[in-house]
Amino acid sequence: MWAYQKRLQYPINIKKKDLRMAKYLVTQYGGGNGELAAALRYLNQRYTMPDNRGKALLTDIGTEELAHIEMISTMIYQLTKDATVEELMEAGLGTNYAEHGPALFPTDSNGVPFTVTYFAATGDPLADLMEDMAAEQKARAVYENLIDMTNDPDVIGPLLWLRQREIVHYNRFKELFEAYQQQYQSKIEPREN
Amino acid sequence: MNNFNEQGNGFLDMMPANMMTLPNNMFQNNTLNPNQMNSNMQTGIQGNTQLSTPQEGFMRGNLFGDLYQQYKNYRPAVLTPRNEKDRLFLNYAQLAFAAHELNLYLDNFPNDRSINRLFNDYRTMSNQALRAYEEKFGPITITSEQLNQFPWMWEQLNFPWDEGGM
C-alpha cells in the first residue's frame, strides 16, 4: 500500500503565469515519456522481476515517479492559475478548456490523451529493464527540450532537478540490467529446433 | 506584493545558481568517498562513487557526484529558506532525499555495508527532522502526533500545489 506525504519531493513556487509553457509541460504528465507512464510502467512490471532486488528497485522508483507526477501537476496548476478563458484560447489551450474546464488532464503537448500503450510489459526482465532505461533517457531528453523553451528560473529549477532524477534512475536500471544479464542470460540453454 | 516573508506562509526562494557566486570548491569539500570508508561491496559498483552531502545532493537532485551531468551551462537552483518554516522543511527534504537515494542504491547493492550504515544515519536524522517540522508547523504525514487535536488538522494546512503549501 502507499502513504501520502503532504509535501512535494522538491519545492515548487511559480509566480508567473505562462500558459504556453503549461501546454508544453503537460507532456511530462500525460505524454509517452511522462511521469504517469513511468510510474505505471515500473509499478506494473515489478511483479515479474526475477528476484527481490528488481522488485525493490521497480517499487521504489515507481513510487518516486508518483511524486514526480505531483510536481509536474503542481507546475501546470501554478502556470495556469487564474487564467481567463480568452487567455487559454489564445495560448492554444481552448480545446483543453472545452473538454475539461480549468481541470488538469493527462495529455501530451498536442492534447493527445494518455494511453497505456505508451509502455510495455513482456515478463522478460531484460526486455523490461531495457525499456525502462530507454524511458529514462527519453524523459531526460524531453526535460532538456522543455528547459530550452523557458527562461523562468522558477520553472527551470524544478526541471533541472527532475532531469537529474532521470539520470540517476537510468543508472540504477542499467546496474540491475547488467547484473541480471550476467546472472540469467548465461544460464539460458539454446532452444532446440 | 508578496507576503512570503510571513511566518507560516513562507516558501523557498528559488534562484538559479548561475546568477549567484558560489565557491567553486563547495562540492569537493563536502563529499564523502564510500570507497575510503571500509567499503564491503560484493556486487562491485564501478569505483569512484562520490557522495555529496544531503544539502548538495538535494540541490542537484543527485546524491552521486559521478552520475551528475550538468545540462548546458545551467546550474542547480539555490534554495534559500526565508523563515523557520522553510528552514525546517528544507532540512527534512534534504535528509529524506539522501536516504531515498541510498535506498535505491541499496536495492541493487544490498551487501554494501558502509552505504547501509550511511542510509541508517540519514533515515534516523530524517525522521527527527520530520518530527521537528511537524511539531512546529503541522502534519506532513497522516501518522503525525500533531493530529492528536481538535478540530481535524489534516485539511487545515494548505496542499502542496497551493500558496503556503510545501
Structure confidence by residue, pLDDT tens digits, A44-53 = 999 999 999 9
In a domain, B156, yes or no: no
B84 falls within a domain: yes
DSSP-derived secondary structure for A55-114: HHHHHHHHHHHHHHHHHHHHHHHHHHTT--HHHHHHTT-HHHHHHHTT----B-TT-PBP
H helix intervals, chain B: 26-29, 54-60, 84-108, 113-137
Q: For residue range B108-163, list pLDDT tens digits in order.
A: 999 999 999 999 999 999 999 999 999 999 999 999 999 999 999 999 999 999 99
E strand or H helix at A53 = helix A52-80
Residues of A in contact with B67 (CB under 8 A): 167-168, 171
C-alpha A152, offset from chain centre: 21
Q: Say if B142 falls within a structural domain.
A: yes
Question: Which pLDDT tens digit goes with each residue over B65-96?
Answer: 999 999 999 999 999 999 999 999 999 999 99
**Cell numbers at B111, concatenated:** 551487501
Task: State how far residue A192 is from chain B, nearest Cα, in angstroms.
Answer: 33
**A16 has pLDDT over 50:** yes
Establish if B155 belongs to a structural domain: no
Q: Which residues of A touch B5 (CB under 8 A)?
A: none
A190 pLDDT tier (thresholds 50, 70, 90): low
- pLDDT, residue A152, reads 98
With respect to residue B133, please indicate whether it lies within any of the assigned structural domains. Answer: yes
Pairwise CB contact (< 8 Å): B77 & A157: yes
How distant is the Cα of B99 from the closest Cα of chain A, in angstroms? 12
Mutant choice from A5, A29, A69, A145 vs B, greatest count of B C-beta within 10 A: A5
Mean pLDDT of A98-126: 97
Residue B14 dihedral angles phi and psi, to the nearest 5°: -110, 125
Residue B3 falls inside a structural domain: no
pLDDT at res. A184: 82
* B111 to chain A: closest CA residue: A53
In a domain, B129, yes or no: yes
Q: What confidence score (pLDDT) does residue B21 get?
A: 35
Residue B120, domain extent = 13-147
| Residue A113, min C-alpha distance to chain B (Å) | 23
B-chain residues near A162 (CB < 8 A): 61
The CATH label, of 1.10.287.130, 1.10.3720.10, 1.20.1260.10, 3.90.1150.10, for the domain at A19-113+121-187 is 1.20.1260.10
Where do the structural domains in chain A lie, given as residue ranges?
Answer: 19-113+121-187
Residue A162: name the closest of A87, A57, A95, A65 by CA.
A65
What integer is the mean pLDDT of A127-141? Answer: 98
